[in-house]
Amino acid sequence: PATSEPPTVDPAEERVDVAIVGGGPAGLQAALVLVRARKSVAVFDAPSPARNAASHGVHNFIGIEGMLPADLARTAWEQIDAVGGAALHRVEVANVERDHEGDFVITTAEGDRLGAHHVILAFGHRDAIPEIPGFAECWGDTVISCPFCDGYEHRDRVWGLVVPSAGAKATPPLFAYNWTDKVKVFLGGEVDLPEEMATALEAQGLELHRGDITAINHDDGKIASVTLAGGETVPVETLLWSPESLPAPLVERLARGLGLAVDEEGFIAVSPLQQTNVEGIWAAGDAIGSTMAMDAARSGGAVAVLIVQGWFEEPGH
């Protein structure tokens, strides 16, 4: 928590009940709940490509299996518009500040201002994409981060599990056998795997390779092999490689300006009800750390419900 009250600014001329920063699953789910409760809503969705833009489809969501992320967003907006609609601002948010009247002012990168009584931070997180030749071109195609999301589409292929990476840490090597029996494990140069563990893994049919991957060799996003630091080339078809998740840059600005509390990894700290330490500001989805997409949408809806439930208990309503 902040040790002193942060400075305030003049109220904005135009106001809404709730401003949502982020137009992904969490933000759009919150918007739908709020407009159905007859609240005025503005959604700020930065024009840069979404994290899931490279995905070939959304999986493990009943009713929308295989739907492209862009189609999912379009459908969500059609449903929001059908029940009153929300204002969409395709612009990056530069800052959120408290105004003299206790509400908030959202300032965009273009300098426009909008007031809001509540703010939901649902802008997700960013991936620390490795600067390795071929990674960006294969990301979302044959480099996958979640076997539950994309494993079925890569079934029976030759997989490479990259250790350490967030996905590989959460997924023991033998777990990959659910989708393929052709599994190779790549141990980065800093990974110290006990010899007895290596022997046990090899006895299970896993092929171990030591050394950092320095290049992904591919044809238009389809992996053929990887090159290791020692020069070895290893054939693979799919890599399970999950880059480190990093907080969005806006989090640091809000921590400085509003005293927004963050956790030890720099993500927004929230209560069990997803409230931040700044009254009136909530956070949902990947903005509070890495979550499954299903949980991101659920958390956005949960925040919206809490705002609606408490609306007429607040002074002035």
Predicted pLDDT at 143 = 96
pTM: 0.88
Cα–Cα distances (Å) from 119 to 124, 166, 178, 268, in that order, read 15, 30, 42, 13
As a whole number of angstroms, the distance between CA 284 and CA 123 comes to 8
Q: Is pLDDT at 1 greater than 50 in this prediction?
A: no
For the chain, list the strands marked E by DSSP. 15-21, 41-44, 87-89, 93-98, 104-108, 113-121, 125-127, 143-144, 159-163, 183-187, 207-210, 213-219, 222-228, 233-235, 238-240, 245-247, 281-283
Predicted pLDDT at 294 = 56
DSSP code for 91: S
Span 42-51, mean pLDDT? Answer: 88
What are φ and ψ of residue 284, in 5° steps? -150, 155
Q: Residues 89-141: pLDDT tens digits?
A: 999 999 999 999 999 999 999 999 999 999 999 998 888 899 999 999 999 99
The CATH classification of domain 15-127+245-313, taken from the options 3.90.480.20, 3.40.50.800, 3.50.50.60, 1.10.510.10: 3.50.50.60
H or E stretch including 305?
helix 293-310
**CA angle (292 as vertex; 35, 64 as ends), nearest 5:** 60
State the span(s) of the chain assigned CATH 3.50.50.60: 15-127+245-313, 135-240
Q: Residues 170-195: pLDDT tens digits?
A: 456 788 899 999 999 998 877 777 77
Q: Which class for 44: exposed (0-12), middle (13-18), buried (19 or more C-beta within 10 A)?
A: buried
Q: pLDDT grade, residue 151 (50/70/90)?
A: very high
At 307, which amino acid appears? I
As a whole number of angstroms, the distance between CA 285 and CA 125 comes to 9
Predicted pLDDT at 163 = 80
Q: Residues 18-35: pLDDT tens digits?
A: 999 999 999 999 999 999
Dihedral over Cα of 30, 31, 33, 37: its sign: positive
The mean pLDDT of the chain is 89
At 292, which amino acid appears? M
Q: Which of 59-68, 143-152, 193-202, 304-313 has the lowest mean pLDDT?
A: 193-202
Q: Is pLDDT at 316 greater than 70 in this prediction?
A: no
Q: Is pLDDT at 2 greater than 60 in this prediction?
A: no
Q: Is pLDDT at 293 greater than 60 in this prediction?
A: no
Predicted pLDDT at 144 = 94
Whether a cis peptide bond, with omega within 30° of 0, leads into 164 is yes
Q: Residues 213-268: pLDDT tens digits?
A: 999 999 999 999 999 999 999 999 999 998 888 999 999 999 999 999 999 999 99
**Cβ(21)–Cβ(44) below 8 Å:** yes
**Cβ(43)–Cβ(86) below 8 Å:** yes
Q: Is pLDDT at 167 greater than 50 in this prediction?
A: no
Q: Residues 294-306: pLDDT tens digits?
A: 577 778 888 999 9
At 139, which amino acid appears? W
Predicted pLDDT at 261 = 96
**Cβ(191)–Cβ(173) below 8 Å:** no
Predicted pLDDT at 165 = 56
As a whole number of angstroms, the distance between CA 224 and CA 217 comes to 6
Q: Does domain 135-240 have CATH number 2.60.120.260?
A: no
With a CB cutoff of 8 Å and minimum separation 6, the contacts of 272 are none
As a whole number of angstroms, the distance between CA 312 and CA 13 comes to 23
Q: Is pLDDT at 56 greater than 90 in this prediction?
A: no
